[in-house]
């Protein structure tokens, strides 16, 4: 019964190793990060770009209040008038005048000559555009981090699949060795049973690891804005070289860079400046405003008999009281600015906390990697020595099974340590605003 079981498990392993698509998309870690800022950016980044375009359009809208407004109008009407309704009442005046035609064609011009409040509103819109641009950069940073973590998880899942394949191959070899030992009469049949159980467990772990790899690829495709059924082939493995970025080595330099370039902090500072500029624009509404209005056209009873007429006027407006509405809007904007200052202060503290946490995780991962490397070598030696003792007939394969389990756990610990180191690098790059430079 040993050969059919081995054949069945081998078939399951082969099915788990079969690719789902003959033409997968080959994707490296650096390629995945570059897609965040390319034309094929994820939806979150695309939406951030559209919000920036929206803010840019608001600048144009705010500037329009300072630009001339020109319009053209034409009028034809047939009128009758009651002169008494206009205050005219004397003998001989008819009670009804008309009907008569009126034709009028005119060009209208309006121009703000001086309005300090509108100037301030333009500046506020520009500052808000800077905030939207910084928010777009923050979105790109977040997307780059999400893609990097998704790729790291997929690379971890790929490494787990590789480890499970090695476990399954070793388990299959040990079944063969156990059968040979039984046939040679130097081992009991229970050793074959133990080896078969271990082979079954290894096959089950491989199938589960393969499913987890496919799930990780789905998550990676989703973070990249690709179709979830897109076949992705990772070209980078879970190695110490992954996760390099433009990050200072010292803690103080990293914090200084983060405070200088972190886009979320820059966006918050810009929002605060925009609120203060908006408050200044509201205060400027108390100042006089100077406007120019003019029109030129022709008017008459018929078009051929029309004559040119024009109007030119200058208007000065000085707001005095609007029911305290202006004061309420000013107080609101000042509160918004104060809230932004509080958030900016908290973000500066969060920057330092993010850098410290990432550096701590990086040091911890480096220590774990050293320990896991030693543990992996020792576990491999234990399997080799236990196998030699079993093949020599001086011990049963229970020692081999125990050593094999130790090797499985050692491989898991090594993969976990490498994954922890990579995620710590990603977190450090994100903490200083350099996630988009990961490679």
The secondary structure of residue 92, as a DSSP letter, is T
Distance, CA of 127 to CA of 275 (rounded, Å): 9
Distance, CA of 276 to CA of 83 (rounded, Å): 57
Question: Which domains occur in the chain, in start order?
Answer: 43-77+100-431 (1.20.1600.10)
pLDDT in tens, 23-57: 778 899 999 999 888 888 889 899 999 999 999 99
The secondary structure of residue 35, as a DSSP letter, is G
Tokens matching residue 169: 């191959």
Distance, CA of 55 to CA of 375 (rounded, Å): 56
* Of residues 155, 168, 114, 135, the one with CA closest to residue 314: 114
pLDDT in tens, 59-117: 999 999 889 999 999 999 998 988 888 888 888 788 888 898 999 999 999 999 988 88
Sequence-distant (6+) residues with CB within 8 A of 329 are 282
Is it the case that residue 187 has pLDDT exceeding 80? no
Rg of the chain over all Cα atoms, to the nearest angstrom: 39
The secondary structure of residue 435, as a DSSP letter, is G
Upper half-sphere CA count for residue 89 (Cβ side, 13 Å): 4
List own/partner pairs for 49-53 with CB under 8 A and 24 or more apart.
49/136, 51/132, 51/135, 51/136, 52/129, 52/132, 52/133, 52/135, 52/136
Query: Between vectors from CA 99 to CA 96 and to CA 104, what angle results, nearest 5°?
Result: 125
Distance, CA of 247 to CA of 436 (rounded, Å): 11
Distance, CA of 318 to CA of 321 (rounded, Å): 10
Collapsing DSSP to helix, strand or coil, 322 comes out as: coil
Looking at residue 14, its pLDDT comes to 55
Collapsing DSSP to helix, strand or coil, 185 comes out as: coil
250-277 b/e (C-beta count within 10 Å ≥ 16 → b): eeeebbebbbeebbbbbbbbbbbbbbbb
The secondary structure of residue 73, as a DSSP letter, is E
Looking at residue 9, its pLDDT comes to 52
Q: What is the mean pLDDT of the chain?
A: 88
Looking at residue 253, its pLDDT comes to 92
pLDDT in tens, 379-428: 999 888 988 888 887 777 888 888 888 999 999 999 999 999 999 999 99
Tokens matching residue 108: 């209208």
Tokens matching residue 408: 């499985």
What's this model's pTM, rounded to 2 decimal places?
Answer: 0.82
Looking at residue 420, its pLDDT comes to 94
Looking at residue 7, its pLDDT comes to 53
């Amino acid at each position: 019964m040993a050969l059919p079981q081995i054949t069945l498990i081998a078939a399951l392993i082969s099915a788990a190793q079969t690719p789902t698509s003959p033409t997968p998309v080959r994707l490296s870690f650096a390629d995945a990060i570059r897609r965040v800022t390319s034309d094929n950016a994820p939806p979150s980044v695309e939406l951030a770009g559209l919000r920036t375009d929206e803010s840019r359009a608001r600048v144009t809208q705010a500037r329009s209040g300072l630009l001339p407004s020109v319009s053209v109008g034409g009028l034809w009407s047939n009128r009758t008038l009651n002169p008494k309704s206009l205050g005219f009442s004397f003998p001989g005046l008819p009670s009804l005048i008309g009907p008569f035609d009126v034709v009028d064609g005119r060009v209208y011009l309006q121009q703000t000559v001086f309005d300090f409040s509108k100037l301030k509103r333009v500046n506020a819109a520009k500052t808000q555009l800077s905030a939207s641009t910084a928010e777009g950069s923050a979105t790109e940073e977040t997307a780059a981090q999400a893609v990097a973590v998704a790729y790291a998880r997929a690379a971890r899942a790929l490494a787990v699949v590789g480890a499970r394949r090695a476990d399954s191959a070793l388990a299959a070899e040990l079944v063969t060795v156990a059968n040979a030992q039984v046939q040679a009469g130097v081992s009991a049949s229970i050793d074959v049973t133990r080896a078969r159980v271990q082979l079954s467990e290894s096959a089950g772990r491989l199938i589960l690891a393969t499913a987890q790899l496919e799930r990780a690829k789905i998550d990676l495709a989703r973070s990249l804005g690709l179709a979830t059924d897109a076949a992705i082939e990772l070209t980078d493995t879970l190695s110490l070289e992954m996760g390099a970025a433009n990050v200072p080595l010292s803690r103080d330099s990293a914090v200084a860079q983060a405070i200088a370039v972190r886009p979320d902090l820059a966006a918050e500072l810009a929002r605060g400046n925009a609120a203060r500029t908006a408050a200044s624009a509201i205060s400027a509404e108390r100042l006089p405003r100077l406007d120019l209005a003019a029109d030129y056209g022709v008017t008459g009873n018929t078009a051929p008999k029309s004559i040119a007429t024009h109007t030119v006027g200058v208007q000065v407006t000085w707001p005095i009281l609007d029911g305290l509405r202006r004061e309420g809007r000013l107080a609101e904007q000042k509160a918004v600015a104060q809230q932004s200052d509080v958030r900016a202060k908290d973000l500066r503290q969060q920057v330092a906390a993010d850098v410290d946490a990432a550096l701590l995780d990086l040091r911890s991962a480096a220590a774990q990697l050293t320990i896991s490397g030693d543990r992996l070598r020792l576990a491999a030696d234990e399997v080799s020595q236990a196998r030699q003792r079993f093949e020599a007939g001086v011990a049963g394969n229970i020692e081999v099974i125990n050593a094999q389990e130790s090797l499985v756990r050692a491989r898991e610990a090594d993969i976990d340590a490498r994954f922890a180191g990579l995620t710590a690098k990603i977190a450090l790059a994100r903490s200083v605003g350099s996630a988009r430079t990961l490679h």
